[in-house]
Structure 1
């Protein structure tokens, strides 16, 4: 796309204005677990019982505030008006829940760190359990918060990796060292009400992608090379972004919601343009498969689309292999191909962009988020109505996905 800018600069380590931490001194290091030796939550002997204090199990289903996957989509979390719940995806199972007594249990954001004992929490609701201007670091082995970051403005979201905590505000992003909670970098953005921000989790050096200062602009921070890149992804405001774990590919959608674009993060070049539909819609979620062969997209139209990201390099070889004895026939075929190429260049983007290969239909207007399952050709879908779907798509024939599992995770005995 246009307006690609590369900058070499050192990070600015001082926050200002409403985003300034209430206490500039770092939290005591003994409050934080050594993130290099974190334990898995699947080790049942190492963590407290799901019904241990201060947790209270209530019979009526809680009110759902937010849902999110962990970094490798093996688990997902639900923030509720009573606390939070952690589930595994394959197979579906409730790992544990932490429900706080009284009427002040509201938790909005629950950001896991893979499957370890450390999570980041942000409060929400009329009576939030934690103030919405704080990021609380929860250690589930200890059953309590072991540290926090406090600000003058409400926090919109948070991202975790083993060495960094990334705090997202409406027009700013702050990057902290995880262990010492020292501020390393602050990033100015345009208005970012959806808290768009994605980071890499597997690479040695973090890559961070967020909105730039202008409408439709992407900002990429390469912390390994200490460079900043800007490029324009859309003419309208950004609505959703997704980043591969290695930080090489970026998917973007605008507020129009008709097109999804896939970019090379390194140089900002456009690799693919995918068409979700022709009607304006809100894109809720996008996710790359492991290996980035597929991209899943959910929207308020109630449809989850799966797009192929593989380049169709076999098409020309297939045509060349269909040889006939007649040279005139071969020449005619070549002219047809050239004609089609010419026509494609004259047609609008509606015909030249690529359409999805598989779909799954849901309740229209309801927010669903998507991820790819650990099993081959499977998609995980979770909704704000408590719905959990595990579906399989046919990578060759395409068409509608086949549901493998349908559960109400707020009422596990009920199926959709």
Structure 2
């Protein structure tokens, strides 16, 4: 289905976090029953300058439909019709015997094929959904959604050659948040649009005076990240609930918990080395001095009880208790500086996976923990070899608590349980697969890897599958 968004309008300077309205210029209820309101556009929106910062002009929420209704379809047995009219075919993703061959096949297309792929829409962004069962990518012509296991394109929305810079899913439901970006943005980059895939249209928008750096979704909240502020909205009526000031945050760092019983949010604080943890249900804020340099990546467990952080140096990853800020683990990725692109906790087991620009993926065990003192600067000491990881679950020396005060700090850092060398310094994200002890790695260039690790012996992970999810059918591996 080809759905063209409305023309790009100029950014509104009326207010930083105020404007809420329908994508077609009307004020709509994003969760009103479309059968009860067939036009979804009963009254005109007032100018954004006339609205208060909580979006008061937005009508009260009507009886909300089940927002967990799955994106239709999100199953390989029920494929979405492709843009050319026929159903998409399964990608021939046979496991490849050698990592080198897999890498060459997944990323080593020639210049002509690469240019053709860019014309169709290389990924401008890639992000997993909250349970890592799917991932969405913004492209130069729209956005696409894929199931992870098995790898399958399930949704493709194209906007007449206009690009989507960010896509945020809400588990597997029909609501997504999209932000324009790239060479020809479909919406202004200062707007966060709420997209209903059942209607194939945007049903609400949040307009700001500066570019949107990130969007995070919960079943009850929408969180929009700007460079110096984070705004929290109620999902049912888009009412502004909270706003938090941060240090300059060009990466859009922010994570939220997903448990229904609590709402925890982590974002940069107002100081360079600081992480701010908002415990909204307890009406309490904790500030954690995570590193001696600015944070580069953060992660929360689904229940929000643990926080993982990596600094701009990328040599150490630290895990904290969000309730009191105590450090539970200090994990060593390596000795060389690296840009950590993603940190993800396993939702089912005590593991943490990290991916960096060094071309490596590391899995750490974070099960047993004891509160530790605050560590030193991230760069000291040696590491686990160039771009690699230790084959043991945890450094043997780190298990001898009595030795920590005698040996250099480097020897007490916990090493990775398992690792995998992709070998290309490109932007990669990693998450845990649906099968036990598996890791899914995706890259903005289209690379897809499914890896398996031994939770007891550790060592180098085994490649199970490699593919290019952006390749056309005749380019598939």
- What secondary structure sits across from 2:429 in the alignment? strand
Change in 2 beyond 3 A, CA 1:122/1:143: same
Instruction: For 1:121-160, list aligned pairs within 5 A.
Output: 121-160=178-217
Residue 246 of structure 2: aligned partner: 189
Residue 84 of structure 1: aligned partner: 143
Task: Quote the offset at 1:363 in angstroms.
Answer: 3.4
What is the aligned counterpart of 2:64 among 34, 37, 47? 34
Higher relative contact order (CA 8 A, sep 6+): 2
What is the aligned counterpart of 1:286 among 340, 343, 364? 343
Does the Cα contact within 8 Å between 2:82 and 2:156 map onto a contact in 1? yes
Alpha-carbon distance in structure 1 between the residues aligned to 2:79 and 2:146:
15
Alpha-carbon distance in structure 2 between the residues aligned to 1:229 and 1:415:
48
TM-score by length of 1: 0.83
Residue 416 of structure 2: aligned partner: 356
Residue 395 of structure 1: aligned partner: 455
- What secondary structure sits across from 1:224 in the alignment? helix
What is the aligned counterpart of 2:167 among 110, 116, 129? 110
Task: Quote the offset at 1:223 in angstroms.
Answer: 1.3
Structure 1 segments of 4+ aligned residues over 6 angstroms from their partners: 30-33, 44-48
What is the aligned counterpart of 2:157 among 98, 105, 112? 98
Task: Quote the offset at 1:130 in angstroms.
Answer: 0.8
The answer to whether 1:249 aligns with 2:310 is no
The answer to whether 1:381 aligns with 2:438 is no
Change in 2 beyond 3 A, CA 1:47/1:91: closer
State the number of aligned residues: 370
Task: Quote the offset at 1:312 in angstroms.
Answer: 8.3
Gaps of 5+ in 2: 1-12, 20-47, 86-115, 371-396
Change in 2 beyond 3 A, CA 1:185/1:135: same
Does the Cα contact within 8 Å between 1:26 and 1:181 map onto a contact in 2? no
Task: Quote the offset at 1:62 in angstroms.
Answer: 1.5
Change in 2 beyond 3 A, CA 1:48/1:26: farther
Does the Cα contact within 8 Å between 1:32 and 1:147 map onto a contact in 2? no
- What secondary structure sits across from 2:436 in the alignment? coil
TM-score by length of 2: 0.73
Instruction: For 1:287-306, list aligned pairs within 5 A.
Output: 287-306=344-363
Alpha-carbon distance in structure 2 between the residues aligned to 1:358 and 1:262:
18
What is the aligned counterpart of 2:83 among 51, 68, 78? 51
Task: Quote the offset at 1:362 in angstroms.
Answer: 1.3
Supply the RMSD in Å over aligned alpha carbons. Answer: 2.7
Residue 367 of structure 1: aligned partner: 427
The structure where strand makes up a greater share of residues is 1
